[in-house]
Structure 1
């Protein structure tokens, strides 16, 4: 239990540091271009602690769900004093404004890449060439699902064991379809309840065909409804050579390749994010929680606790790196109040003024953010509602990697 609590605290601290570094990216970039930073805060809501240094107030607020860096004159509608005008963000060149708005994103990417490089030269990175062919680690009985995380009692070796499948068998194909991973095998079996399937098995250098009856069992879908699925009673053996360590030079290329894969996965995760929200809501009322669904600070910290409890420090740090990449890419979504929304406004001003010059007109000045207030408020409300739902789900039905 001590290891679990340590992991929870450490991952929560990692999230806080991630947010702090993101906002510091904005702050230091702004100062580099002579902009006035009024406030630098971690958290939202009532102030817990603050101190003023020069022109900036540093502080911690009561709700540790984010942070902010307030720069004088971020918009043309924001009042600034006469003394602040030369340092107002809106009065700086467009490319400097974009650089400042991108500062947090850049810092998060740098932090993520640094973590990945550190893993590459120490505990290692996932081996891209590992053989993922399904290999049987255990044969067991099958039973119905009785709750979000519980199965009915059963005995015996299950359909696969009774058919002759043994521990150590490599399952090459199912009904002639090549199986590239245990996940693919599992997902295929799930769709075949009540049918007989033929496993092409490699055992002791020989290839065999084993006919396995797929048992129909009850499972709960994302909405908590009972469905009939297939099961044969197999679990996967741990992958061999799943992680590879690199020297300081070789780690550069490995870090780049793995970072690209993580960024690609993050983009796909963001694209599927809206579709996963109904599943999060259903999980609040008892449905099975999707381990690949969204998590809040609460849920991520609990998972961090599970990883530390099992001394899976490499996965702990990889999850923190993924969090940095997620924060970076999520903030690039071109909708206010996210950084990407502010960047989109600055770029729109630049494009608008380009066409005005073609027509012989003077630049039109800063965009009117008051026209964007409905979008800003709506987006903020959506984020708050979704964030609240995910937090509730993480409390009543958290993601558990290890059951």
Structure 2
């Protein structure tokens, strides 16, 4: 049964991956057709074609390797300075440029002269190239908001899950009390498991964050109002100063950092609670910010990845994960001993994170990524507007093909990084607890 569920989980992720890729390419396809650009091919996957159908002027199909997808638009790059595709050159760099230019004019038919990608205004080209990543962002946001507002996330509440018997500095990371330890204020005040704290020093508390802030700011006498067996009781406590985990401006714990603060001494119960729409949007914004920061930090992850792949280095929880690693996690999810709705929510969040990564990665302003074409179109717009302001001749389309040598270098780096992640995902995978 475990093997069957693992295979099923991997298959489900594969389906989600194909849908995400097809959805991305649909963004490019629909906007390209909207602006009159001819699109000969719409393909999901790479390698040999396993299924295809022609509809109108476009061939729609699925290829054997589900590691990406593409649409082929004619005229992605402008012709050479002589108005034609330039002759072959012995220069390897020039060869790259001419290969890209030649591919851009494949399947050119009579009447296509006005249907070339490069002939469209820069803002239209930006829309066509941005539409693909944007579709992934839309899918990520829709999935995230759906999970957040219907299922929710684990959150600490003001209900007491357990009472600490003594005062122990959190930096010591121990659970047992020593003879020299002082009795915790919660234990001395008579706080019990199951109590729900509704007020602190007479002020109602809205949630755990509010209560936690009150406790941290108080050292000395305080009153704690709790609900116990349907009745409210007021407990008197004398909060101690203790070394506790530091929190950032967003109220999140900063790993490995501690500060002196007020201490009561109890564990808050954790529940899965749905979020309101504003809270869901705010949390989605945090997720996008964290994703962008993780994308910027990718180069710094290479040493740890290398150690995890080729030595006995630890595979950290925030380590980059590729398609293989994500599929393995999906397979593990179906074997988790948890309610079905929890597993479904975790799977959907995995798919949302994957789509968010696709959006962020494709927006990098580097060829051959969508962001590279967007940057080229924006630069062309700047050049033409500057020329218009200073009444200079129109410089014409920006020849993105001249950047193809850089694109090959970027693609080479990406392939090497992908292979490194693949090896790490196979020999030392990230696992869920």
- Matching residue of 2:202: none
Check conservation: 2:245, 2:257, Cα contact below 8 A: no
- Matching residue of 1:313: 344
Deviation at 1:72, TM superposition (A): 1.3
- Matching residue of 2:124: 96
Moved over 4 A (4+): 129-137, 168-175, 177-181, 183-186, 197-201
- Matching residue of 1:121: 149
- Matching residue of 1:324: 355
1:357 to 1:377, Cα distance in 2 relative to 1, 3 A: same
Correspondence for 1:187 among 256, 265, 290: 256
Matches for 1:36-51 after TM superposition, within 5 Å: 36-51=38-53
Give the gaps of 5 or more residues in structure 2.
Answer: 79-100, 165-172, 185-191, 194-211, 217-239
- Matching residue of 1:64: 66
Instruction: Give SS of 2:430's match.
Output: coil
- Matching residue of 1:384: 415
Q: Distance in 2 between matches of 1:287 and 1:25?
A: 41
Q: Distance in 2 between matches of 1:136 and 1:292?
A: 32
Check conservation: 1:130, 1:240, Cα contact below 8 A: yes
- Matching residue of 1:176: 243
- CA RMSD in angstroms comes to 3.5
Instruction: Give SS of 1:344's match.
Output: helix
Q: Structure 1 residue 375 and structure 2 residue 403: aligned?
A: no
Deviation at 1:259, TM superposition (A): 1.7
Q: Distance in 1 between matches of 2:163 and 2:412?
A: 48
Q: Structure 1 residue 295 and structure 2 residue 362: aligned?
A: no
Deviation at 1:201, TM superposition (A): 6.1
Deviation at 1:274, TM superposition (A): 1.0
- Matching residue of 1:31: 33
Instruction: Give SS of 2:297's match.
Output: helix
Deviation at 1:359, TM superposition (A): 3.0
Q: Distance in 2 between matches of 1:318 and 1:136?
A: 33
Q: Structure 1 residue 240 and structure 2 residue 270: aligned?
A: yes
- Matching residue of 1:277: 302
Deviation at 1:268, TM superposition (A): 0.8
Deviation at 1:254, TM superposition (A): 3.2
Instruction: Give SS of 1:37's match.
Output: coil
Aligned length: 337
Instruction: Give SS of 2:109's match.
Output: coil
Check conservation: 1:133, 1:180, Cα contact below 8 A: no
Correspondence for 2:6 among 1, 4, 16: 4
Instruction: Give SS of 2:65's match.
Output: strand
Q: Distance in 2 between matches of 1:60 and 1:132?
A: 53
Deviations 1:353-396 (A, max 9, x none): 11212332232222223320111100111111111111111111
TM-score (norm 2): 0.69
Give the gaps of 5 or more residues in structure 1.
Answer: 138-157, 190-196, 205-236
Q: Distance in 2 between matches of 1:336 and 1:131?
A: 51
Check conservation: 1:134, 1:185, Cα contact below 8 A: no
